[in-house]
Structure 1
Amino acid sequence: MMNEQRTWVANAIAKIQADFQRSADTHLIKVNLPQLAGIDIYLKDESTHPTGSLKHRLARSLFLYALCNGKIQQGTTIIESSSGSTAISEAYFARLLGLKFIAVMAKSTSQEKIEQIKMYGGECFLVDSTEMIYAESEKLAKELNGYYMDQFTHAERATDWRGNNNIADSIFQQMQLEPHPIPKHIVMSAGTGGTSATIGRYLRYHQLDTSLTVVDPENSVFLDYFKSADSSLTSCLGSKIEGIGRPRVEPSFIASVVDEMIRVPDAASVAVTLWLEKVLGRKVGASTGTNMYGVLKLAQEMQSKGQTGSIVTLLCDKGDRYLDSYFNPEWVENNIGDVSPYLAHLDNFLQNGSSLDF
């Protein structure tokens, strides 16, 4: 017979599973770009999750992982280091289970994200810089006798990468009736590295002829680590593209399952983000702009070689969270710089089908 805590854990898992059962899968959007004839581009729209981002999948997996490992009990306070989206999703699941949640994040995090965390009943503990979030999270967890969720360590192991409706499995299920059902490339940016690890492992497990390309913003050490294998690398600056890029090599970033990496200038990420609103008719977050930059680079390479096929990437979250930053021209000018050369190039491509050599 289960004791009281085991009963609570069983009920908590049942609540999360019921929440999952109520949720539909996310859409796979085909992007209309006739300028790239023979190359089909798809966006997996993760913004349609209940908490509005890709991180909803991660948060659900992290809670189940912690519950099944006996780390979360009735009354446990959950602490997480997060730039926003993961914290929003974890606050949602903490509220579902009746648990207190505290997000440790940099003061530079968008106000929209902070308000969403609070809307789900979470608290925000703001620190001066991204580099401080790890130690402060550990400290808070110790002081409050809580549990530090630690997405950066556990993301790659909390999800079943072999299948079981993970994001890679969902992509290939949805691609089955497309002209090129096995993508030439899947493009992904890395925050924790958990999603790229899931996709890369899935591709190998199912022996799929698809290349995984990870795109990395400025001030992130992932690409340098990919080239050097030096796990001690750090950066004194944080990424300006919220949710992706890290100043240290996170344990969940598995470079050995990545086939290629591309450095993306911040100005290019933001320009593609703004340009995508014209293509899709709605705003997306800047990490999606980073992803799409990589897609366009790869599509151009394929086109120059006379290749056809498909490329899939992720629409990570909605642009409504960034109205005061990436969609604010004054903020962009002060924090990112001049994005107009990239925008002019993209607009020329859209209107005239000119080369995308940027």
Structure 2
Amino acid sequence: MIGASAAPDTLGAQRKEPAVSTPHLTRTGETLDVDHTDVAYRSWLKEAVRKVQADANRSADTHLLRFPLPEKWGIDLYLKDESTHPTGSLKHRLARSLFLYGLCNGWIRPGRPVIEASSGSTAVSEAYFAKLIGVPFIAVMPRATSAEKCRLIEFHGGRSHFVDDSRTMYEESARLAVETGGHYMDQFTYAERATDWRGNNNIAESIFRQLELERYPEPAWIVATAGTGGTSATIARYVHYTQHDTRICVADPENSCFFEGWTTGDPDVTCDCGSRIEGIGRPRMEPSFVPGAIDRMMKVPDAASVAAVRALEKAIGRKAGGSTGTGLWSSLKIVAEMVAEGRQGSVVTLLCDPGDRYLDKYYSDAWLAEQGLDIQPYTEAIESLLKTGVWPS
């Protein structure tokens, strides 16, 4: 098992590789000047940053969709629809931030590949930005990643590099970066720091701006799911910084360590197999997860995630990925608690990516049978809540 400190050590060694430019030494009196300036590189860098910023400038904000609940409850449930980004997922925001961070730090260089460890959606979005600025892209992913995500990576000019054990993605990504002279993006370390959590049109600021004219403009809860931990860190920090009373809940699927690490306070906790819910759940506590910033965590059975995402389609006519179901299940449990306590207010969760990427998984009864997942009890629990306002014991 690769320890949590292995990736930064490897990255530190990687970044000592010679830069594209050669230092130019000049003497001026008693001063020795070292000039790293490379006119061609700086011109390329300026254009690359412009292209990435232009992507944000021409992209409209994502919608807040309402999940229908009985009016008498006095509770509004929203889903922030991140599937409408150009690359179809929440990870488009992250990939844009990571590329700007890497470019402005001088880590991404012309002609050198960008490598990322990913379960799919981040790789799709990073392949898009790599193509935008004209550098190669390699995605290191579990072999079980959905075929549609692999197709999208290739569509954007990227290449998929598979591993049989998801726990080896970090080490393999770092190895490829050294081998190719490229840059290992390492979303699991840098997600929480690459995004400006104080504002600058991040996802949290967007949510609060869109709720301004709703009947409950300050949500009681925002529910996120954890892949890198970067989204929950951004939202939680923004809430604290802007002094809102909103609480942050993180929903964690099976075969993931965030819940156990958070409840035990052990950052070194690990698990032996990968998550079936693509995009979230990790075999270790990732460096970008900030446990002290959030208020609550829920452990969600995979069958419950699938039941919730199918219930979403029935409710609003939209298919979504399994990670959306994980967050929706936890949101519905919070709604049930609010009903039981007679509290009114709003709850926000995320529609992370579209369901057409997972037709052979979460929308396939054959896949459910193969995985030994029975969603019927969880489907009935959701239906009971929506009819009676009571969560089954």
- Is the shorter-chain TM-score for this pair beyond 0.5, marking a shared fold? yes
Q: Are residue 357 (structure 1) and residue 392 (structure 2) matched?
A: yes
Counterpart CA distance in 1 for 2:215 and 2:389 is: 25
Counterpart CA distance in 2 for 1:36 and 1:88 is: 42
Among 356, 371, 379, the alignment partner of 1:320 is 356
* Structure 2 gaps, min length 5: 1-36
Among 17, 21, 24, the alignment partner of 2:53 is 17
Counterpart CA distance in 1 for 2:232 and 2:325 is: 17
Deviation at 1:344, TM superposition (A): 2.5
Q: Deviations over 1:230-289 (max 9, x none)?
A: 111100011111110110010000000010001101110111111111011021111000
Among 262, 272, 286, the alignment partner of 2:298 is 262
Residue 225 of structure 1 aligns to a residue whose secondary structure is: helix
Determine the structure 1 residue equivalent to 2:201: 165
Deviation at 1:194, TM superposition (A): 0.4
Contact 1:267 1:336 in 2 (8 A): no
Q: TM-score, normalized by length of structure 2?
A: 0.89
Q: Are residue 176 (structure 1) and residue 212 (structure 2) matched?
A: yes
Q: Are residue 253 (structure 1) and residue 289 (structure 2) matched?
A: yes
Give the RMSD, CA atoms, in angstroms.
1.2
Counterpart CA distance in 1 for 2:59 and 2:308 is: 30
Moved over 6 A (4+): none
State the one-letter code of the partner of 1:199: I
Deviation at 1:347, TM superposition (A): 3.0
Residue 102 of structure 1 aligns to a residue whose secondary structure is: strand
State the one-letter code of the partner of 1:302: M
Counterpart CA distance in 2 for 1:298 and 1:42 is: 13
Among 194, 197, 200, the alignment partner of 2:230 is 194
Aligned residues: 357
Deviation at 1:356, TM superposition (A): 2.4
Contact 2:336 2:389 in 1 (8 A): no
Q: Deviations over 1:118-140 (max 9, x none)?
A: 01010000110211111100000
Q: Are residue 5 (structure 1) and residue 41 (structure 2) matched?
A: yes
Larger Rg: 2
Deviation at 1:187, TM superposition (A): 0.3
Deviation at 1:24, TM superposition (A): 0.2
Determine the structure 1 residue equivalent to 2:66: 30
Residue 94 of structure 1 aligns to a residue whose secondary structure is: helix
Q: Are residue 239 (structure 1) and residue 287 (structure 2) matched?
A: no
Determine the structure 2 residue equivalent to 1:289: 325
Change (3 A) 1:267 1:36: farther
Which segment is superposed worse, 31-40 or 218-227? 31-40
Which segment is superposed worse, 336-345 or 87-96? 336-345
Q: Are residue 221 (structure 1) and residue 257 (structure 2) matched?
A: yes
Determine the structure 2 residue equivalent to 1:41: 77
Q: TM-score, normalized by length of structure 1?
A: 0.97
Q: Deviations over 1:3-62 (max 9, x none)?
A: 211111110000111111111000011221117720100100000000000000000000
Contact 2:336 2:385 in 1 (8 A): no
Identity of aligned residues (%): 56
Contact 2:385 2:392 in 1 (8 A): no
Contact 1:234 1:247 in 2 (8 A): yes
Change (3 A) 1:36 1:142: farther
State the one-letter code of the partner of 1:140: L
Contact 2:384 2:392 in 1 (8 A): no
Residue 157 of structure 1 aligns to a residue whose secondary structure is: helix
